Amino acid sequence: MLVLGIETSCDETAVGIVEDRFTLQANVIASQVELHAPYGGVVPEVAARAHLDQMLPTVETALAHAGARIGDIDAVAVTSGPGLMGALLVGVSAAKGIALAHDIPLVGVNHLRAHVEASQLEHGELEPPLVALVVSGGHTSIVVMEPDGGFRQLGSTIDDAAGEAFDKIARFIGLDFPGGPEIDRLARGGDPEAYAFPRALMDASYDMSLSGLKTAVIRELRRMEAAGVEPDLADVAASFQEAIVDVQVLKTLRAAADEGLDQVVLAGGVAANSRLRERFTQECDVNGQRLIIPSVPLCTDNGAMVAASGSNLLAAGVTSELCLAADPNLALAG
């Protein structure tokens, strides 16, 4: 069964094709990075317009990569939320059009669940219960995936998402948008212990807070500037990144231990971070926990994860009506 997945929740027009739930046939992304770079962040109206331009060409490229024709597609999956309303509407409308024109099932997919289920394309079927860290541009949550596939939230950021903090600090120090990969690169040449940036909410809760860290980095840079001291930006990037990674690793693995679970999934754009991957790999090795992380292209927004998640729903007999609504605030945990 060939499922086409459409993702337009933010600034990537992405289309993936998955065969029989686990086999990746195409994963095409038309990035809008250059359009948003001058603004230092995603401009919703610009994103929606660019999705309109890129939607059909991206579907055609994905079909070409898979060596398929649109008539070969058995169902269409689409991110129906969460995300930017105008951006979501483009994908949802395109998916409805394809489903209607070709008389195939439509299935609406939760973007965050799709981030978690992306890993099935490389690591096989997830076997919940497990703990997942969903860490991206708009979300930072620790959740349990229950044996029935439902999610239970243990904690989340009470202010900035990790990706948002990466992007804001990168912008402050003059790096390109999106800032996460830039900080990741810069930090490789830096000392993670050069600056003692704060780790917030190191209490028993699974919640996280990143705005104080962001303020501490900005204040330190301003202090150095006022004192005429040239900051070593690689050290700043490495120390900032380490502060984020420390909290994510500690809280996620404590959650796994508290819940008695020995499988940990990393999901979302920030799961592409090399230091986060390295630290989780080291610690899970020591603890004997199974760590499941998608490869970098399957961490950041993509259509393949939507096709995979949609395939799971279809296999469970779930489809959506043609009146499927985009929901910018769709939650992961019910």
Ligand X SMILES: Nc1ncnc2c1ncn2[C@@H]1O[C@H](COP(=O)(O)OP(=O)(O)OP(=O)(O)O)[C@@H](O)[C@H]1O
As beta bridge partners, residue 157 has: 208
CA 189 vs. chain centroid, Å, equals 25
Q: Closest CB to ligand X among 62 and 271?
A: 271
How many residues sit close enough to Mg ion to count as binding (CB under 5 A)? 2
Q: Applying CB under 5 A, which of residues 301, 303, 311, 320 lies at the interface with Mg ion?
A: 301
279 binds ligand X (CB under 6 A): no
Q: Least CB distance from residue 260 to Mg ion, whole Å?
A: 29
180 binds ligand X (CB under 6 A): yes
111 binds ligand X (CB under 6 A): yes
Q: How is residue 231 annotated by DSSP?
A: P
Pattern of binders to ligand X over 155-174, x per CB under 6 A? --------x--xx-------
The CA distances from residue 236 to 136, 227, 239, 240, 261, in Å, are 21, 16, 5, 6, 35
Q: Least CB distance from residue 174 to ligand X, whole Å?
A: 15
Question: Please, which of residues 42-81 interact with ligand X by CB under 6 A?
Answer: none
Q: Least CB distance from residue 123 to Mg ion, whole Å?
A: 19
SS3 of residue 18 by DSSP: strand
Query: Closest Cα partner for 233 from 264, 268, 195?
Result: 195
How many residues sit close enough to ligand X to count as binding (CB under 6 A)? 23
- The whole-angstrom separation of Cα 89 and Cα 45 is 12
Select the residue whose beta carbon is closest to ligand X and give its number. Answer: 269
239 binds ligand X (CB under 6 A): no
Q: Least CB distance from residue 179 to ligand X, whole Å?
A: 5
Residues that bind ligand X (CB under 6 A): 9-10, 83, 111, 136-139, 163, 166-167, 178-181, 184, 268-270, 272-273, 300-301
The footprint of Mg ion (CB under 5 A) covers 136, 301
